[in-house]
Copies of this chain bind each other. A is one copy, B any other.
Amino acid sequence: MNIRELARRSGVSTATVSRALNDRAEVSEATRERIRRLATELGYAPNEPARTLVRRRSDTIGLIWDSGQEAQGLHNPFLLGLLSAVRTALSEADYHLMLLTTPGPDDPEGAHLQAVRRHNLEGVIVLTTPPDDHCLRQLAASTVPCAGIDTAFTGPRTVRVSSDNAAGAEAAVEHLYALGHRRIATITGPLHLPPAAERLAGYRRACARLGLGVPEGYVVEGDFFLASGEAAGRRLLSVAERPTAIFAAGDQMAIGAMHAAADAGLAVPRDLAVVGFDDIDAAALVRPALTTVAQDQRALGEAAVAALRGLLDAGPGKGLEPAQPRIVPTRLVIRGSSRSGA
């Protein structure tokens, strides 16, 4: 069933069918209705490649996510929520979604850019990808509209979306302060990553504002994984002025710190309160359950789609100055690791 067949059966030209189905104003109400009815009845659906070819637009967005991180297990559950939010928001806006492959070492530099051209993609959404990806850098440098969540690249038509890492960290410290803690230490992520640096900045700002000192040895860098949190926890617990609370910039590290506390014979939260960041699944499964700064995956995904649509609507002329990053609020989820009786 193609448009010619449908036109024949409707007794009109293909042009009229096309107009009716695309809701053009010129077609009369009566014929439009008749054609639409017949179309659904016959199960007709227009051939998208043909439409793309003639309209020179595909209504399709490319999606890239990093499989390097994934192989390491970093941020896994987080990614899926993002993916899902992006998919929903995009399909509500009537865009199709194509998954782009992370290029291997033998792929050409311009792999992403080429994929965009070949498929007539209108824009790309990038999920949490490291900054040292050549293909991606080249894509960002092009005129292809790109919205990135937790990405570090910039370009002429690029928008960055991210959680409010600093404010989230501040909220965590404030929460601990409100519980009476005055000796609050932190475990950071790798500080060359923007989210890690921003969370540390938030921690420092909150401590300064609350008049808390940050003694020597209260800031330990980890790598977002469990073992680094455990090691950092051990170090923090051996500082002369032992902290009574730890804010870790990632949940796995926070859980590692809880293990270190247990090994030192300290009870959480009685002897040591712990707050994490991200709200991964495990945060609700460990005991005591982990208080954490939750990222709003849904909002992040929606913000990325909104930002991308902004770029698309603005057209190739605009957006030549680097766009302001879109910042999405976080939410503190209070569980047993920071307050007793849970």
Give me the interface of A with B, judged by CB distance under 8 Å: 40, 43, 45-50, 52-53, 58, 63, 67, 70, 73, 76-77, 79-81, 83-84, 87-88, 91, 96-99, 101, 108, 110, 114, 117-120, 226, 252, 255, 259, 262, 280-282, 284-287
Contact = CB atoms under 8 A, between A and B. Distances in A.
A86 to B, nearest CB: 9
A266 to B, nearest CB: 14
A117 B67 contact: no
Contacts of A96: 98-99, 119
Contacts of A118: 45-48
Contacts of A252: 285
A77 B63 CA distance: 19
Contact of A286 (B52, B91, B286): B286
Given A97-B99, A98-B99, A99-B98, A226 B80 contact: no
5 contacts: A47-B120, A97-B98, A259-B287, A285-B285, A286-B287
Contacts of A47: 53, 118, 120
A119 B49 contact: yes
B80 A110 contact: no
Contacts of A286: 282, 285-287
Given A80-B80, A96-B99, A282-B285, 14 more contacts: A47-B53, A48-B49, A49-B49, A49-B120, A73-B281, A77-B77, A77-B281, A83-B83, A91-B101, A96-B119, A97-B99, A226-B284, A226-B285, A286-B287
Contacts of A81: 70, 76
A198 to B, nearest CB: 24
A104 to B, nearest CB: 9
A86 B16 CA distance: 42
Nearest to A51: B49
A45 B117 contact: yes
A101 B117 contact: no
A142 to B, nearest CB: 11
